[in-house]
Structure 1
Amino acid sequence: MTFTPLNKLTKALVVGLSLSTVTAAAQEQQLDDVVKAGSDINQSANRSQQRIDKMNDQVVDKLQTYKALNKEIDGLTVYNQQMQAQLDNQLIELQQLGQSIEQVSIIERQISPLMARMITTLDTFVSLDVPFLPEERQHRLADLKGMMERSDVSTSEKFRRVLEAYQVEVDYGRTIEAYQGEIDIDGTPMNVDFLRIGRVSFLYQSRDGLQLGQWDQASQSWQKLPASYRTSVNKALRIARKQLAPDLITVPVNLAKSAAE
Protein backbone atom coordinates (compact mmCIF):
# COMPACT_ATOMS: atom_id res chain seq x y z
CA MET A 1 0.00 0.00 0.00
CA THR A 2 1.25 3.43 -0.87
CA PHE A 3 0.72 6.31 1.54
CA THR A 4 0.38 9.81 0.49
CA PRO A 5 1.89 12.62 2.47
CA LEU A 6 -1.54 13.46 3.83
CA ASN A 7 -1.96 10.01 5.05
CA LYS A 8 1.42 10.19 6.67
CA LEU A 9 0.48 13.40 8.39
CA THR A 10 -2.77 11.94 9.54
CA LYS A 11 -0.99 8.90 10.77
CA ALA A 12 1.46 11.08 12.60
CA LEU A 13 -1.36 13.03 14.19
CA VAL A 14 -3.10 9.87 15.19
CA VAL A 15 0.09 8.54 16.67
CA GLY A 16 0.69 11.84 18.44
CA LEU A 17 -2.81 11.92 19.78
CA SER A 18 -2.45 8.35 20.90
CA LEU A 19 0.80 9.17 22.66
CA SER A 20 -0.79 12.25 24.26
CA THR A 21 -3.70 10.14 25.41
CA VAL A 22 -1.36 7.53 26.81
CA THR A 23 0.72 10.22 28.51
CA ALA A 24 -2.37 11.91 29.95
CA ALA A 25 -3.68 8.59 31.18
CA ALA A 26 -0.35 7.82 32.72
CA GLN A 27 -0.22 11.23 34.36
CA GLU A 28 -3.79 10.84 35.55
CA GLN A 29 -2.89 7.44 36.95
CA GLN A 30 0.12 8.92 38.65
CA LEU A 31 -2.03 11.73 40.01
CA ASP A 32 -4.53 9.20 41.32
CA ASP A 33 -1.70 7.28 42.87
CA VAL A 34 -0.39 10.45 44.48
CA VAL A 35 -3.86 11.38 45.73
CA LYS A 36 -4.40 7.88 47.04
CA ALA A 37 -0.99 7.90 48.66
CA GLY A 38 -1.79 11.29 50.22
CA SER A 39 -5.14 9.96 51.42
CA ASP A 40 -3.42 6.90 52.85
CA ILE A 41 -0.88 9.14 54.53
CA ASN A 42 -3.65 11.33 55.95
CA GLN A 43 -5.55 8.29 57.22
CA SER A 44 -2.38 6.88 58.69
CA ALA A 45 -1.59 10.25 60.25
CA ASN A 46 -5.15 10.46 61.59
CA ARG A 47 -4.84 7.00 63.10
CA SER A 48 -1.47 7.96 64.53
CA GLN A 49 -2.94 11.13 65.97
CA GLN A 50 -5.77 9.17 67.52
CA ARG A 51 -3.25 6.80 69.07
CA ILE A 52 -1.24 9.79 70.28
CA ASP A 53 -4.38 11.41 71.73
CA LYS A 54 -5.34 8.15 73.38
CA MET A 55 -1.85 7.73 74.81
CA ASN A 56 -1.90 11.36 75.94
CA ASP A 57 -5.24 10.76 77.72
CA GLN A 58 -3.77 7.68 79.34
CA VAL A 59 -0.70 9.64 80.41
CA VAL A 60 -2.95 12.40 81.87
CA ASP A 61 -5.03 9.80 83.69
CA LYS A 62 -1.94 8.09 85.02
CA LEU A 63 -0.55 11.45 86.12
CA GLN A 64 -3.77 12.35 87.93
CA THR A 65 -3.84 8.91 89.53
CA TYR A 66 -0.21 9.36 90.56
CA LYS A 67 -0.95 12.75 92.11
CA ALA A 68 -4.02 11.35 93.89
CA LEU A 69 -1.99 8.43 95.21
CA ASN A 70 0.71 10.80 96.42
CA LYS A 71 -1.90 12.83 98.30
CA GLU A 72 -3.35 9.66 99.76
CA ILE A 73 0.12 8.50 100.77
CA ASP A 74 0.77 11.84 102.45
CA GLY A 75 -2.54 11.57 104.28
CA LEU A 76 -1.81 8.00 105.32
CA THR A 77 1.64 9.06 106.52
CA VAL A 78 0.10 11.72 108.78
CA TYR A 79 -2.61 9.29 109.90
CA ASN A 80 -0.02 6.63 110.71
CA GLN A 81 1.97 9.14 112.73
CA GLN A 82 -1.16 10.05 114.70
CA MET A 83 -2.04 6.39 115.21
CA GLN A 84 1.49 5.66 116.35
CA ALA A 85 1.31 8.50 118.84
CA GLN A 86 -2.03 7.18 120.13
CA LEU A 87 -0.63 3.66 120.28
CA ASP A 88 2.35 4.89 122.28
CA ASN A 89 0.01 6.70 124.68
CA GLN A 90 -2.19 3.62 124.98
CA LEU A 91 0.84 1.48 125.77
CA ILE A 92 1.76 3.93 128.52
CA GLU A 93 -1.83 3.91 129.82
CA LEU A 94 -1.85 0.10 129.65
CA GLN A 95 1.28 0.00 131.73
CA GLN A 96 -0.22 2.42 134.22
CA LEU A 97 -3.43 0.40 134.25
CA GLY A 98 -1.47 -2.73 135.02
CA GLN A 99 0.16 -0.96 137.95
CA SER A 100 -3.25 0.30 139.09
CA ILE A 101 -4.68 -3.22 138.91
CA GLU A 102 -1.89 -4.44 141.15
CA GLN A 103 -2.61 -1.61 143.58
CA VAL A 104 -6.35 -2.31 143.42
CA SER A 105 -5.71 -5.93 144.32
CA ILE A 106 -3.76 -4.79 147.36
CA ILE A 107 -6.45 -2.26 148.30
CA GLU A 108 -9.19 -4.85 147.79
CA ARG A 109 -7.48 -7.22 150.20
CA GLN A 110 -7.33 -4.40 152.73
CA ILE A 111 -10.77 -2.91 152.18
CA SER A 112 -12.77 -6.06 152.97
CA PRO A 113 -11.57 -6.17 156.59
CA LEU A 114 -12.14 -2.41 156.77
CA MET A 115 -15.77 -2.80 155.67
CA ALA A 116 -16.29 -5.59 158.21
CA ARG A 117 -15.00 -3.32 160.98
CA MET A 118 -17.20 -0.46 159.73
CA ILE A 119 -20.31 -2.68 159.85
CA THR A 120 -19.43 -3.88 163.34
CA THR A 121 -18.93 -0.29 164.48
CA LEU A 122 -22.24 0.73 162.93
CA ASP A 123 -24.00 -2.18 164.64
CA THR A 124 -22.57 -1.13 167.98
CA PHE A 125 -23.55 2.50 167.38
CA VAL A 126 -27.16 1.57 166.54
CA SER A 127 -27.46 -0.64 169.62
CA LEU A 128 -26.28 2.24 171.82
CA ASP A 129 -28.23 4.96 170.01
CA VAL A 130 -31.72 6.29 170.64
CA PRO A 131 -34.04 3.39 169.69
CA PHE A 132 -35.97 4.97 166.82
CA LEU A 133 -36.90 2.90 163.74
CA PRO A 134 -35.40 -0.25 165.28
CA GLU A 135 -36.73 -2.70 162.66
CA GLU A 136 -35.59 -0.57 159.72
CA ARG A 137 -32.11 -0.02 161.08
CA GLN A 138 -31.59 -3.64 162.11
CA HIS A 139 -32.81 -4.79 158.71
CA ARG A 140 -30.27 -2.49 157.04
CA LEU A 141 -27.48 -3.94 159.18
CA ALA A 142 -28.58 -7.50 158.42
CA ASP A 143 -28.51 -6.72 154.70
CA LEU A 144 -24.97 -5.36 154.99
CA LYS A 145 -23.77 -8.43 156.86
CA GLY A 146 -25.37 -10.76 154.34
CA MET A 147 -23.96 -8.74 151.46
CA MET A 148 -20.40 -9.19 152.71
CA GLU A 149 -20.69 -12.97 152.17
CA ARG A 150 -21.97 -12.66 148.59
CA SER A 151 -19.55 -13.23 145.72
CA ASP A 152 -21.85 -11.72 143.07
CA VAL A 153 -21.53 -8.22 144.57
CA SER A 154 -18.39 -6.29 143.66
CA THR A 155 -16.16 -4.82 146.32
CA SER A 156 -16.92 -1.31 145.08
CA GLU A 157 -20.67 -1.91 145.40
CA LYS A 158 -20.23 -3.31 148.90
CA PHE A 159 -18.23 -0.26 149.95
CA ARG A 160 -20.82 2.06 148.40
CA ARG A 161 -23.62 0.46 150.36
CA VAL A 162 -21.67 0.60 153.62
CA LEU A 163 -21.02 4.30 153.09
CA GLU A 164 -24.68 4.77 152.19
CA ALA A 165 -25.71 3.18 155.49
CA TYR A 166 -23.38 5.55 157.34
CA GLN A 167 -24.87 8.49 155.44
CA VAL A 168 -28.39 7.45 156.46
CA GLU A 169 -27.35 7.38 160.11
CA VAL A 170 -25.71 10.80 159.76
CA ASP A 171 -28.89 12.20 158.23
CA TYR A 172 -30.94 10.99 161.18
CA GLY A 173 -29.06 13.46 163.35
CA ARG A 174 -30.24 16.51 161.38
CA THR A 175 -33.79 15.68 160.35
CA ILE A 176 -37.24 15.60 161.96
CA GLU A 177 -39.49 12.59 161.47
CA ALA A 178 -42.90 11.30 162.55
CA TYR A 179 -44.07 7.70 162.21
CA GLN A 180 -46.48 5.29 163.86
CA GLY A 181 -45.59 2.31 165.99
CA GLU A 182 -46.28 0.38 169.15
CA ILE A 183 -44.69 0.51 172.58
CA ASP A 184 -45.29 -1.19 175.90
CA ILE A 185 -46.50 1.27 178.55
CA ASP A 186 -46.85 -0.18 182.04
CA GLY A 187 -47.15 -3.66 180.56
CA THR A 188 -49.81 -2.64 178.05
CA PRO A 189 -49.12 -2.43 174.30
CA MET A 190 -50.13 0.94 172.90
CA ASN A 191 -50.27 2.36 169.39
CA VAL A 192 -48.58 5.75 169.37
CA ASP A 193 -47.17 8.46 167.12
CA PHE A 194 -43.41 8.73 167.43
CA LEU A 195 -41.62 12.06 166.95
CA ARG A 196 -37.88 12.16 166.37
CA ILE A 197 -36.06 15.49 166.30
CA GLY A 198 -32.51 14.68 165.27
CA ARG A 199 -31.08 12.62 168.09
CA VAL A 200 -31.74 15.18 170.82
CA SER A 201 -35.43 14.40 171.35
CA PHE A 202 -37.40 11.19 170.85
CA LEU A 203 -41.05 11.45 171.91
CA TYR A 204 -44.30 9.57 171.68
CA GLN A 205 -47.94 10.55 171.90
CA SER A 206 -50.87 8.17 172.23
CA ARG A 207 -53.42 8.19 169.45
CA ASP A 208 -55.97 9.86 171.70
CA GLY A 209 -53.38 12.49 172.61
CA LEU A 210 -53.79 11.90 176.33
CA GLN A 211 -50.40 10.34 177.03
CA LEU A 212 -47.01 11.82 176.20
CA GLY A 213 -43.56 10.45 176.83
CA GLN A 214 -39.86 11.02 176.15
CA TRP A 215 -37.07 8.50 175.77
CA ASP A 216 -34.44 8.89 178.45
CA GLN A 217 -31.14 7.65 177.11
CA ALA A 218 -29.47 7.52 180.52
CA SER A 219 -32.06 5.14 182.01
CA GLN A 220 -32.88 3.50 178.67
CA SER A 221 -36.59 3.92 179.37
CA TRP A 222 -39.64 6.02 178.55
CA GLN A 223 -40.47 8.91 180.84
CA LYS A 224 -43.95 10.43 180.89
CA LEU A 225 -44.36 14.09 180.03
CA PRO A 226 -46.89 16.57 181.42
CA ALA A 227 -49.91 17.55 179.33
CA SER A 228 -48.43 21.04 178.88
CA TYR A 229 -46.29 19.67 176.04
CA ARG A 230 -49.29 18.36 174.09
CA THR A 231 -49.76 21.45 171.90
CA SER A 232 -46.05 21.69 171.03
CA VAL A 233 -45.81 17.98 170.29
CA ASN A 234 -48.91 18.11 168.06
CA LYS A 235 -47.40 21.05 166.18
CA ALA A 236 -44.07 19.25 165.79
CA LEU A 237 -45.83 16.14 164.50
CA ARG A 238 -47.64 18.19 161.84
CA ILE A 239 -44.37 19.89 160.82
CA ALA A 240 -42.64 16.49 160.53
CA ARG A 241 -45.49 15.25 158.33
CA LYS A 242 -45.15 18.41 156.21
CA GLN A 243 -48.66 19.51 157.14
CA LEU A 244 -47.29 22.78 158.51
CA ALA A 245 -44.46 25.03 157.42
CA PRO A 246 -41.27 24.79 159.53
CA ASP A 247 -41.57 26.88 162.67
CA LEU A 248 -40.18 27.17 166.19
CA ILE A 249 -41.36 24.43 168.53
CA THR A 250 -40.86 23.76 172.22
CA VAL A 251 -40.09 20.15 173.10
CA PRO A 252 -38.11 18.52 175.89
CA VAL A 253 -34.49 17.70 175.05
CA ASN A 254 -32.50 14.77 176.28
CA LEU A 255 -29.82 16.74 178.13
CA ALA A 256 -27.88 13.68 179.22
CA LYS A 257 -27.52 12.59 175.59
CA SER A 258 -26.57 16.09 174.49
CA ALA A 259 -23.89 16.34 177.13
CA ALA A 260 -22.46 13.00 176.08
CA GLU A 261 -22.31 14.15 172.46
Structure 2
Amino acid sequence: MARAPTGESSIARAARIIAAFTSDETSLTVTEIARRTGLHVATASRLIAELAAHGLLARGPGREVRVGVRLWELAARASPTSSLREAAMPYLEDLHAVVGHHAQLGVLDDDDVLFVERLSARDAVINYTQIAGRLPAHISSCGHVLLAYAPPEVRQRVLRRPMRRYTAATITTPDRLDEAWAAVRRQGYAFLPGHVHDDATGIAVPVRNALTEVVAALSIIVPNDEHAPAGLAALLAAARGVTRTLSGRR
Protein backbone atom coordinates (compact mmCIF):
# COMPACT_ATOMS: atom_id res chain seq x y z
CA MET A 1 0.00 0.00 0.00
CA ALA A 2 1.75 3.16 -1.20
CA ARG A 3 2.26 5.86 1.38
CA ALA A 4 2.87 9.58 1.12
CA PRO A 5 5.96 11.16 2.75
CA THR A 6 3.60 12.10 5.62
CA GLY A 7 2.90 8.41 6.23
CA GLU A 8 -0.66 8.61 4.92
CA SER A 9 -1.74 5.64 2.81
CA SER A 10 -3.21 5.85 -0.68
CA ILE A 11 -6.48 4.48 0.69
CA ALA A 12 -6.66 7.29 3.24
CA ARG A 13 -6.05 9.89 0.52
CA ALA A 14 -8.63 8.26 -1.75
CA ALA A 15 -11.15 8.34 1.11
CA ARG A 16 -10.52 12.06 1.55
CA ILE A 17 -11.15 12.62 -2.15
CA ILE A 18 -14.49 10.79 -2.03
CA ALA A 19 -15.46 12.68 1.15
CA ALA A 20 -14.88 16.00 -0.65
CA PHE A 21 -18.24 15.62 -2.39
CA THR A 22 -21.36 16.77 -0.57
CA SER A 23 -25.09 16.39 -1.21
CA ASP A 24 -25.10 19.95 -2.58
CA GLU A 25 -21.87 19.69 -4.54
CA THR A 26 -21.87 16.43 -6.45
CA SER A 27 -19.55 17.65 -9.19
CA LEU A 28 -16.12 19.21 -8.54
CA THR A 29 -13.00 20.15 -10.48
CA VAL A 30 -9.69 18.46 -9.78
CA THR A 31 -8.35 21.77 -8.45
CA GLU A 32 -11.23 22.12 -6.02
CA ILE A 33 -10.82 18.52 -4.84
CA ALA A 34 -7.11 19.16 -4.27
CA ARG A 35 -7.93 22.30 -2.28
CA ARG A 36 -10.49 20.54 -0.10
CA THR A 37 -8.29 17.53 0.61
CA GLY A 38 -5.01 19.40 1.02
CA LEU A 39 -3.43 17.25 -1.69
CA HIS A 40 -1.11 18.46 -4.42
CA VAL A 41 -3.03 18.85 -7.69
CA ALA A 42 -0.88 16.23 -9.43
CA THR A 43 -1.46 13.74 -6.61
CA ALA A 44 -5.18 14.41 -6.60
CA SER A 45 -5.34 14.03 -10.38
CA ARG A 46 -3.52 10.68 -10.28
CA LEU A 47 -5.72 9.26 -7.53
CA ILE A 48 -8.88 10.52 -9.25
CA ALA A 49 -7.79 8.77 -12.45
CA GLU A 50 -7.31 5.49 -10.54
CA LEU A 51 -10.68 5.80 -8.79
CA ALA A 52 -12.35 6.58 -12.12
CA ALA A 53 -10.74 3.51 -13.70
CA HIS A 54 -12.57 1.39 -11.12
CA GLY A 55 -15.86 3.23 -11.59
CA LEU A 56 -15.77 4.82 -8.15
CA LEU A 57 -15.53 8.29 -9.68
CA ALA A 58 -16.53 9.52 -13.14
CA ARG A 59 -15.66 12.40 -15.45
CA GLY A 60 -18.35 14.75 -16.70
CA PRO A 61 -18.56 16.38 -20.15
CA GLY A 62 -16.49 19.34 -18.97
CA ARG A 63 -13.90 17.11 -17.25
CA GLU A 64 -15.48 17.77 -13.87
CA VAL A 65 -15.41 14.87 -11.42
CA ARG A 66 -18.41 13.23 -9.81
CA VAL A 67 -19.19 10.11 -7.80
CA GLY A 68 -19.29 7.03 -10.02
CA VAL A 69 -22.15 4.60 -10.42
CA ARG A 70 -20.02 1.74 -9.11
CA LEU A 71 -19.49 3.53 -5.80
CA TRP A 72 -23.24 4.09 -5.47
CA GLU A 73 -23.85 0.41 -6.29
CA LEU A 74 -21.45 -0.85 -3.64
CA ALA A 75 -22.71 1.59 -1.01
CA ALA A 76 -26.35 0.69 -1.67
CA ARG A 77 -25.58 -3.02 -1.51
CA ALA A 78 -23.77 -2.84 1.81
CA SER A 79 -25.64 -0.01 3.54
CA PRO A 80 -26.99 -0.91 7.00
CA THR A 81 -29.84 1.54 6.36
CA SER A 82 -31.22 -0.43 3.40
CA SER A 83 -33.42 -2.72 5.49
CA LEU A 84 -34.51 0.24 7.60
CA ARG A 85 -35.57 2.20 4.54
CA GLU A 86 -37.32 -0.84 3.09
CA ALA A 87 -39.30 -1.34 6.31
CA ALA A 88 -40.22 2.34 6.52
CA MET A 89 -41.22 3.12 2.94
CA PRO A 90 -44.87 1.88 2.98
CA TYR A 91 -45.56 3.85 6.17
CA LEU A 92 -43.60 6.85 4.96
CA GLU A 93 -45.68 6.96 1.79
CA ASP A 94 -48.94 6.80 3.75
CA LEU A 95 -47.70 9.49 6.13
CA HIS A 96 -46.74 11.75 3.26
CA ALA A 97 -50.19 11.32 1.71
CA VAL A 98 -51.77 12.45 4.98
CA VAL A 99 -49.59 15.50 5.74
CA GLY A 100 -49.06 16.63 2.15
CA HIS A 101 -45.70 18.26 2.91
CA HIS A 102 -42.49 16.43 3.91
CA ALA A 103 -42.10 13.02 5.51
CA GLN A 104 -38.60 11.77 6.22
CA LEU A 105 -36.48 9.14 7.92
CA GLY A 106 -33.20 9.94 9.69
CA VAL A 107 -30.45 8.20 11.62
CA LEU A 108 -27.72 9.56 13.86
CA ASP A 109 -24.22 9.60 12.36
CA ASP A 110 -21.57 11.24 14.52
CA ASP A 111 -23.20 14.52 15.61
CA ASP A 112 -25.43 14.89 12.55
CA VAL A 113 -28.70 13.49 11.33
CA LEU A 114 -28.23 11.58 8.09
CA PHE A 115 -31.47 11.45 6.12
CA VAL A 116 -32.08 8.04 4.60
CA GLU A 117 -35.30 8.97 2.80
CA ARG A 118 -37.50 12.00 2.19
CA LEU A 119 -40.83 12.33 0.43
CA SER A 120 -41.98 15.78 -0.55
CA ALA A 121 -44.46 17.73 -2.68
CA ARG A 122 -44.13 20.59 -5.13
CA ASP A 123 -45.86 23.18 -2.96
CA ALA A 124 -44.62 21.88 0.39
CA VAL A 125 -43.24 24.20 3.06
CA ILE A 126 -39.51 24.97 2.92
CA ASN A 127 -37.26 22.14 4.08
CA TYR A 128 -33.45 21.99 4.05
CA THR A 129 -33.09 18.21 4.19
CA GLN A 130 -32.09 15.99 1.27
CA ILE A 131 -31.74 12.25 0.82
CA ALA A 132 -28.19 11.36 1.92
CA GLY A 133 -27.93 14.91 3.27
CA ARG A 134 -27.15 15.97 6.82
CA LEU A 135 -28.30 18.48 9.40
CA PRO A 136 -26.73 19.23 12.78
CA ALA A 137 -28.58 17.11 15.32
CA HIS A 138 -29.27 20.03 17.68
CA ILE A 139 -31.52 21.84 15.18
CA SER A 140 -33.47 18.92 13.71
CA SER A 141 -36.58 17.32 15.19
CA CYS A 142 -35.11 13.95 14.15
CA GLY A 143 -31.91 14.96 15.89
CA HIS A 144 -33.70 15.82 19.12
CA VAL A 145 -35.36 12.40 19.17
CA LEU A 146 -32.16 10.53 18.35
CA LEU A 147 -30.12 12.44 20.93
CA ALA A 148 -32.83 12.09 23.58
CA TYR A 149 -32.37 8.31 23.45
CA ALA A 150 -28.64 8.28 22.70
CA PRO A 151 -26.05 7.26 25.32
CA PRO A 152 -25.17 10.10 27.72
CA GLU A 153 -21.64 10.36 26.33
CA VAL A 154 -23.04 11.12 22.87
CA ARG A 155 -25.23 13.90 24.24
CA GLN A 156 -22.32 15.35 26.19
CA ARG A 157 -20.12 15.34 23.09
CA VAL A 158 -22.76 17.30 21.18
CA LEU A 159 -23.18 19.78 24.03
CA ARG A 160 -19.44 20.49 24.08
CA ARG A 161 -19.32 21.52 20.44
CA PRO A 162 -20.18 24.96 19.00
CA MET A 163 -23.83 25.05 17.92
CA ARG A 164 -25.05 27.31 15.16
CA ARG A 165 -28.28 29.24 15.61
CA TYR A 166 -30.50 29.11 12.51
CA THR A 167 -33.46 31.11 13.84
CA ALA A 168 -34.43 32.86 17.07
CA ALA A 169 -36.13 29.61 18.15
CA THR A 170 -33.06 27.38 17.67
CA ILE A 171 -31.91 25.96 20.99
CA THR A 172 -28.14 26.26 21.40
CA THR A 173 -27.49 26.24 25.16
CA PRO A 174 -26.65 22.98 26.98
CA ASP A 175 -29.21 23.43 29.77
CA ARG A 176 -32.10 24.09 27.41
CA LEU A 177 -31.10 21.23 25.11
CA ASP A 178 -30.96 18.85 28.06
CA GLU A 179 -34.46 20.01 29.04
CA ALA A 180 -35.73 19.55 25.48
CA TRP A 181 -34.33 16.01 25.25
CA ALA A 182 -35.83 15.11 28.62
CA ALA A 183 -39.20 16.36 27.34
CA VAL A 184 -38.86 14.09 24.30
CA ARG A 185 -38.32 11.08 26.56
CA ARG A 186 -41.38 12.03 28.67
CA GLN A 187 -43.81 12.72 25.82
CA GLY A 188 -42.41 10.41 23.14
CA TYR A 189 -41.95 13.01 20.38
CA ALA A 190 -40.10 16.22 19.48
CA PHE A 191 -42.03 19.31 18.40
CA LEU A 192 -39.79 22.10 17.08
CA PRO A 193 -41.63 25.09 15.57
CA GLY A 194 -39.36 27.41 13.61
CA HIS A 195 -36.07 25.86 14.73
CA VAL A 196 -34.55 25.48 11.26
CA HIS A 197 -36.70 27.97 9.35
CA ASP A 198 -39.25 30.41 10.72
CA ASP A 199 -41.98 29.10 8.41
CA ALA A 200 -41.56 25.38 9.17
CA THR A 201 -42.29 23.07 12.10
CA GLY A 202 -40.49 19.77 12.56
CA ILE A 203 -42.18 16.94 14.45
CA ALA A 204 -40.36 13.65 15.02
CA VAL A 205 -40.90 10.34 16.82
CA PRO A 206 -38.60 7.38 17.53
CA VAL A 207 -38.43 4.16 15.54
CA ARG A 208 -37.34 1.11 17.54
CA ASN A 209 -36.00 -2.32 16.69
CA ALA A 210 -36.89 -5.71 18.17
CA LEU A 211 -34.77 -4.93 21.23
CA THR A 212 -36.73 -1.66 21.74
CA GLU A 213 -33.59 0.34 20.91
CA VAL A 214 -34.17 3.62 19.06
CA VAL A 215 -32.52 3.10 15.68
CA ALA A 216 -34.03 5.96 13.67
CA ALA A 217 -36.43 8.87 13.78
CA LEU A 218 -39.46 9.48 11.59
CA SER A 219 -40.44 13.10 11.07
CA ILE A 220 -42.72 15.48 9.21
CA ILE A 221 -41.99 19.07 8.21
CA VAL A 222 -45.16 21.13 8.00
CA PRO A 223 -46.07 24.85 8.03
CA ASN A 224 -45.44 26.64 11.30
CA ASP A 225 -49.05 27.46 12.12
CA GLU A 226 -51.91 26.34 14.33
CA HIS A 227 -52.45 23.24 12.17
CA ALA A 228 -48.92 21.86 12.74
CA PRO A 229 -49.84 19.48 15.62
CA ALA A 230 -52.50 17.77 13.49
CA GLY A 231 -49.94 15.47 11.86
CA LEU A 232 -48.67 13.99 15.12
CA ALA A 233 -51.23 11.17 15.31
CA ALA A 234 -50.39 9.96 11.79
CA LEU A 235 -46.69 10.25 12.58
CA LEU A 236 -47.01 8.12 15.72
CA ALA A 237 -49.03 5.50 13.85
CA ALA A 238 -46.43 5.34 11.07
CA ALA A 239 -43.58 4.91 13.56
CA ARG A 240 -45.45 2.07 15.28
CA GLY A 241 -45.85 0.38 11.91
CA VAL A 242 -42.14 0.66 11.09
CA THR A 243 -41.25 -0.61 14.56
CA ARG A 244 -43.55 -3.64 14.14
CA THR A 245 -41.95 -4.42 10.79
CA LEU A 246 -38.42 -4.17 12.17
CA SER A 247 -39.38 -6.28 15.20
CA GLY A 248 -40.73 -8.99 12.92
CA ARG A 249 -37.36 -9.18 11.13
CA ARG A 250 -35.32 -9.92 14.21
Shorter-normalised TM range: under 0.3
Between 1 and 2, higher relative CO (CA 8 Å, sep ≥ 6) is seen in 2
Higher helix share: 1
Structure with the bigger percentage of strand: 2
